[in-house]
Structure formats: structure tokens, C-alpha cells
Amino acid sequence: MNAIPVPSSRRDFAASPLALGLLCLGLFIVYSVSQVRLQTDSLWSIPSAASVLHEGNADLDEFRPTFFPGTAYARREAGAHTYYEYPPGVALAALPFVAGAEALFTLLRPVLPNLGTAGADALAWLALFQGTGLVDLGAYNRTEQLIASFYVCAAAGVLLIALRRRVSPRAALLTVALFGLGTTAFSTASRVLWQHGPGLLAIACIILMLARPTQTARTALLTGLAVALAYVCRPTHSLSVIVVTGLFVLRFRRLLPAYFAGAALVAVPFCAYNLHIYGALLSPYYRHVLEISGPRFFLALAANLVSPSRGLLIFSPFLVLAGVGFFQKWRGRTLEPYEKAFALIVLLHWGAISAFAIWWAGHSVGPRFFTDVLPYVVYFLAFPVQAVLEAPRRHAVLTGVLVVTALFSVLLHWRASNSYDVHGWNSVPVNVDSDPSRCWDWKDAQFLRAIPARIRGTRW
């Protein structure tokens, strides 16, 4: 399982640009036709983008008639204004797409009435996006899904390019397909515009930049930019900020000016935004307290890994092979410095999400909080996958484990992306936010809700 890519011939389809394009297109089609689109954290993401585009500010004041208990989620008062509580990176990530759609539909407005249902839908979306006052936030779920799907597919494409440098093209392609279909990248990040989707793309770009034979001022600048973009999408990416910056301090000190210049392109306006609105460099959302002590923390550590309703290795059991890949490289003393950084980030992230007060991630599917570091995890998965593809008979046990766990994971996340029954576990029979101990109930595990009710024969 050494990090030596297998030479590919000119006819190796997996190494071709067409394979990259078809992977991204295939994932996008699967994501966009999947039915589950539950808005929670994402509720005000598109109106925030509309406010930036139409009014030049990020406040939601023009939507005050829509402020009632059902839409109170994810709003925060600051001064005399109301803002989307979550990081600005998500709304900004939506901005080019909604701006492009508005421009296109406005240009085509005279002919849209003649285009049947598609034209009517475009006109309805345009009226919604340009409207203020009382708006139907639920009508944005399809828009969110398409944008989120783009970012997850883009992350998969970037990850494929990065992995091709470390393993054979076929191994890279299969690994990324498993990432796209057998993890919460599918059942969470692609569903609506959570913070996870744009963050995944930023993390994939970090891997792409670091997994190069050499570092230059250009790649250092791009790495700094990607690290900062990840952070403005989600606070837990602060761990990537710390570890990657430490890597540059230890290994690429002469490139630090370029690295910090790239980060400053994002950090300066981000801090200015927070100072203007909250009077501090970071918004309240970035200042949660972590509790790294006591039995609750250790219980959460275990739950985030192996509990039947939030465990990473329960919902995507094939990822246990990522651990195999890491330890094989560690035992063979072939770990690159940046690979050690990837593993450290995953380890710190596991501790951070377990120290968070709502360690079970609220109403979600499986290990939602682990979504943010999935690119780092599947990086190590690529090495066992290559071993299986190169010599399946010699690695018969490994091959069997990979096939069985991959099939289970893909079916589970497909079902969670197409059936609200899986999401119903969060509320029935008891709200998980009121009783997080339910995460350990093997008799009513969330993954079991993926089995159709007529088959499992239970009342839930």
C-alpha cells in the first residue's frame, strides 16, 4: 500500500478527462434527482445572497414579514438589524449561481411564457428571488439542492485529480465514487445548502495543493486561500487552518509570505464584515465553548465513531479501510509530512465535534459532523482500494470487506437521500435533541429506518 501510483497507458479511461467529467456529471444527476431536501441551517442562505445582490448588504430586514416562529431558525439580531446566523461563506457561495440564474431568466423573460412548465417555473423563481416582504423560504429547497450538489461534485472532481497523483487512476476513481455515493457527502452535503458542501470543495483544494511533489509560491498562495475559504464556511475548519499553517511553518517557511497573502484575501474582508456587524473579529457562531472532559466527552467520542445512529463506521463502514491505509503507511514509514497533517486534522476534528454541546449534530443523518473531514479520510482509503484492484485474490479478505461495506454504505445513503423515513428517526418516537441517548439504541437505530416500513414491520 505504498504511495506509488501505477503507470497508466494512453488508453486508461480512468486517467482521462472524460472519466473526470462523467464522474462529476453522474454524481450531479444522482444528487439532483434524489428527493430529500430538508431545510434547517440553510433556511436563510438564498435570501441572504439576494440581499447582497439587490441591496448591497447582508441583513434580512427586507424580509421582516417572513419573521415568525416557523422561520426563526438561523436568524440573529445584531444592532438594529437581522442577519443569517451562520457563516457568510455559504451565502457567498450561492451568489454566483443565483446571480447568473437571475440574469438569464431576466434576459429570457419575453419568451419564458412560451416555454410551458419550464418557463412558468423560471418566472416563478424570478419573482420569488426578486421579491421581499413575505416570501416562501421553502420554495428555495430545489435551488439549494442544485447549488449544494455542484459543490460536492466539484469537491469530488478535485479530489480525483489529487488522488491520481498518489494511486492508480482506477483506484482514485473508485475511491472518489465511494466518497460521493457512500458517505454523508451524498445524504447531507448535497441535499440543501448546508455549510458542508462549499467546505468540502475548499478541503479538497487543500489536499490538491499539498499532495504535490513540490511547493511553489503559487501553490502556497492557493493553499492559504483554500484554508481561509474553508474557515469562512464552517468554524471547525479552524483545525485545518492551525495544522496546515503549522506545516508551512515547519516545512515551507520561505513560502509563508505567499501562504499568508492567499489567506489574507479572504481573512481581511471576513474580519471587516464581523467587525462591522458584531463589533468583533469573529461572530458569536464562531465562539462556542468546547468541553473536553468528563464522561460525556468520552461517550460522544465513541458515539461519533460507532453508535448505531451517529457512528461514522456504522453509516460508512468501508471507511475502516482508511484506517488500514494510514497504519500500513505508518508502519512502512512512508507517510509524507502532509499526510501526517491530514491524519492529525481528522483526529483533532473527532475530538472537537465530540466536545461540542450538541455532539449528535441535531436533526441530521448519521455522522453529519464528520462530513467536513471526509476528503482527508478517503485520501487514506485510496491505498487499500489500490491494493484490492491490483491483486484481489491476494487480498481476498480486504476485497470482501470492501465490496460488502461499500454496497451497504451506498444503499444506506441513497435511501437516506430519497426517503424521509430516515430523517423521521430524529423526531419519532422522541426528539433526539431532548434525548441524545437514543443514538445508542440498537433496537431503533437510525440506519434501520432505511429499510422500508413494510419490510421492517415496526410502528416507527
Question: What per-residue confidence (pLDDT) applies to 12?
Answer: 84
Give the helix, strand, coil percentages of the chain, each rounded to 5: 70, 0, 30
pLDDT of residue 83: 96
The grid coordinates listed for 327 are 497504519
pLDDT in tens, 146-194: 999 999 999 999 999 999 999 999 999 999 999 999 999 999 999 999 9
Mean of pLDDT values over 72-90:
92
Cβ atoms within 10 A of the Cβ of 291, count?
13
Rounded to 5°, the CA angle 350-184-359 comes to 35
Cis peptide before 429 (omega within 30 of 0): yes
pLDDT at site 92: 95
pLDDT: which is higher, 443 or 454: 443
User: What's the pLDDT tens digit per position in 333-381?
Assistant: 999 999 999 999 999 999 999 999 999 999 999 999 999 999 999 999 9
The three grid cell numbers given for residue 58, joined into one nine-digit string: 447582508
pLDDT digits (tens, 9 = 90+) for 106-147: 999 999 999 999 999 999 999 999 999 999 999 999 999 999
Write out the three cell numbers for 20. 473526470
Q: What is the dihedral of CA 436, 440, 441, 447, to 10 degrees?
A: 100
pLDDT for 304-339, tens place per residue?
Answer: 999 999 999 999 999 999 999 999 999 999 999 999
Q: Three cell numbers at 325?
A: 491505509
Check residue 73 and give its pLDDT.
83
Residue 29 has pLDDT above 70, yes or no: yes
Alpha-carbon distances of 276 from 64, 87, 272, 283, 412, rounded to whole Å: 21, 15, 6, 10, 44
pLDDT computed for residue 238 by the predictor: 97
Question: How confident is residue 9, by pLDDT bands cut at 50, 70 and 90?
Answer: very low
Q: What pLDDT is recorded for position 8?
A: 47
How big is the CA angle at 164 (ends 330 and 196), to the nearest 5 degrees?
80
Residue 439 has pLDDT above 70, yes or no: yes
User: CA-to-CA distance for 442 and 425, rounded, in angstroms?
Assistant: 13
Residue 222 has pLDDT above 80, yes or no: yes
Q: Is the pLDDT of residue 3 over 60?
A: no
Predicted local distance difference test score (pLDDT) of residue 53: 97
Average pLDDT over residues 27-50: 96
Average pLDDT over residues 3-31: 82
- Does residue 84 sit in helix, strand or coil? strand
> What is the pTM (predicted TM-score) of this model?
0.95
Q: What is the pLDDT of residue 458?
A: 63
